């Protein structure tokens, strides 16, 4: 079995709690040979903690000094996904990149072009596609359990959960909860629906609560002290969205860091034969007598970060396309872009 040589770029929160610990569990199959961060002390600290032989202050320096790297794992803040991915692709490296694809559609398109030109494998790390219940659902869906899935509802909403630092700065994050957590809800639900072709979106985004509150009452997540900001708060704090797909299908979506309501992260899908919800996986169907049934399906939990990275490596081993390829990442980025265009116009817009 080939042992893949990995370079992790961006040694902040997600690298620290998901990527480095996952690599530590697959040492026979992947080895982090180098890491980089524009804050060199963070790269050095990660190298010391995880036993990584070399660390650098930029992706360029790393690529120049580590020619044997097979793939680059992009864990930088969102506006750096494009330059780092493009540099890696130009050096002939495969790329695994954290969600969202990019801070805006233009950057996403440039990334897609670089990946296409280099002919390397790209996977977007949208971890919630890789949950064991979601993968079980795909199996049942493909066996015809749900019939034609025509409607879905999803939300990722926090009551007071603004991540600290750059997440509220549009120049670095690209947007607020739509790009931060809405992407999980929308991406997962679209994928589970069977990736229907988006036609249009109607959305409103709100700036009412987030920017008017103090940093102290809003910080959420790990590694906040290390993040620059959030002196700038120019992103939305909530969004309400309606997507229209080909074939008369639709998705209703909500994303918020500051909702005055219950915290939720769900995907509900409705098909002609049955519907589904998760946590736990529950099928809403009918029995042979037409009686309504709620069937809970037991699925052992999993570490979806680890399984996502293992899936990427398996795709490299076998030369196959990942579950979350660039083509999907671009569709989702177009859908997210449509949310902001629609909110700006206060009208439905084409995707
Ligand atoms: N999949 C998930 O559940 C999940 C969870 C959290 C964050 N994320 C995503 O991961 C990314 C990072 O988020 P985070 O919470 O780790 O942020 P963070 O601020 O903790 O870490 C980002 C790091 O990137 C570094 N960096 C920025 N530009 C760089 C560049 N050009 N080259 C090298 N290093 C650079 C920063 O110095 C920082 O250390 C974001 O895109 C975020 O959306 C995903």
Ligand 1 centroid distance, CA of 103 (Å): 12
Report how far residue 291's alpha carbon sits from residue 338's, in angstroms, rounded to the nearest whole number.
41
Of 117, 114, 10, 116, the closest CA to residue 57 belongs to 10
pLDDT tens for each residue of 109-152:
999 999 999 999 999 999 999 999 999 999 999 999 999 999 99
Cβ of 30 less than 6 Å from ligand 1: no
129-303+332-350 matches 4-120 in CATH topology: no
Of 34, 339, 171, 263, the closest CA to residue 15 belongs to 34
pLDDT tens for each residue of 223-265:
555 665 556 889 999 999 999 999 999 999 999 999 999 999 9
By alpha-carbon position, which residue is closest to atom 3 of ligand 1?
127
Ligand 1 centroid distance, CA of 70 (Å): 21
Ligand 1 centroid distance, CA of 243 (Å): 28
Q: Quick count: other Cβ atoms within 10 Å of Cβ 305?
A: 17
Strand partners, 156: 255, 265
Cβ of 12 less than 6 Å from ligand 1: yes
Q: Helix H segments across the chain?
A: 13-14, 20-24, 40-50, 59-65, 81-90, 105-118, 132-142, 170-173, 177, 183-193, 304-318, 326-345
Q: Name, of 130-134, 163-167, 211-215, the range with top average pLDDT.
A: 130-134
Report how far residue 139's alpha carbon sits from residue 151's, in angstroms, rounded to the nearest whole number.
19
pTM value is 0.96
pLDDT tens for each residue of 75-119:
999 999 999 999 999 999 999 999 999 999 999 999 999 999 999
Task: At 13, list the tokens.
Answer: 């929160």
Report how far residue 141's alpha carbon sits from residue 276's, in angstroms, rounded to the nearest whole number.
10
Cβ of 62 less than 6 Å from ligand 1: no
CATH of region 4-120, choose from 1.20.1090.10, 3.20.20.105, 3.40.50.720, 3.40.120.10: 3.40.50.720
One-character DSSP codes across 228-248? ---S---S-SEEEEEEEETTT
Of 175, 113, 190, the closest CA to residue 339 belongs to 175
CATH of region 129-303+332-350, choose from 3.30.360.10, 3.30.470.20, 3.30.56.10, 3.30.930.10: 3.30.360.10
Cβ of 101 less than 6 Å from ligand 1: no
One-character DSSP codes across 197-234? PEEEEEEEEE-SSGGGS-STTT--SS-GGGS---S---
Q: For the chain, what are the domain ranges?
A: 4-120, 129-303+332-350
Q: Is 28 exposed, middle or buried (0-12, 13-18, 19+ CB in 10 A)?
A: exposed
Task: At 139, list the tokens.
Answer: 């199996």
């Amino acid at each position: 079995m080939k042992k893949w040589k990995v370079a992790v770029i961006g040694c902040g929160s997600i690298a620290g709690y998901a990527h480095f610990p996952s690599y530590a569990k697959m040492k026979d199959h992947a080895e982090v040979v180098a890491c980089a961060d524009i804050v060199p002390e963070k790269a050095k600290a990660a190298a010391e903690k995880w036993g990584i032989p070399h660390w650098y202050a930029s992706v360029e320096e790393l690529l120049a000094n580590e020619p044997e790297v097979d793939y680059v794992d992009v864990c930088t803040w969102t506006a750096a996904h494009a330059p780092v991915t493009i540099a890696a692709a130009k050096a002939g490296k495969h790329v695994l990149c954290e969600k969202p694809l990019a801070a805006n559609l233009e950057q996403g398109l440039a990334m897609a072009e670089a990946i296409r030109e280099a002919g390397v494998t790209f996977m977007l790390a949208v971890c919630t596609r890789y949950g064991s219940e979601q993968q079980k659902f795909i199996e049942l869906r493909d066996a015809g359990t749900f019939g034609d899935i025509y409607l879905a509802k999803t939300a990722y909403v926090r009551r007071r959960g603004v991540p600290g630092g750059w997440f509220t700065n549009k120049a670095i994050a690209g947007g607020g909860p739509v790009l931060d957590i809405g992407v999980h809800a929308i991406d997962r639900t679209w994928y589970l629906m069977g990736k229907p072709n988006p036609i249009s979106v109607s959305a409103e985004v709100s700036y009412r609560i987030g920017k008017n509150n103090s940093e102290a009452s809003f910080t959420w997540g790990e590694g906040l002290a290390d993040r620059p900001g959030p002196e700038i708060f120019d992103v939305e704090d909530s969004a309400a969205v309606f997507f229209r797909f080909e074939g008369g299908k639709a998705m209703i979506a909500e994303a918020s860091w500051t909702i005055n309501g219950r915290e939720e992260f769900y995907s509900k899908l409705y098909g002609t034969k049955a519907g589904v919800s998760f946590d736990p996986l529950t099928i809403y169907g009918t029995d042979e007598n037409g009686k309504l049934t709620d069937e809970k399906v037991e699925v052992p939990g999993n570490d979806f970060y680890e399984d996502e990275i293992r899936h990427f490596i398996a795709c490299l081993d076998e030369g196959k396309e990942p579950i979350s390829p660039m083509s999907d990442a671009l569709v989702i980025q177009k859908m997210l872009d449509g949310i902001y265009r629609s909110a700006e116009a206060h009208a439905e817009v084409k995707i």
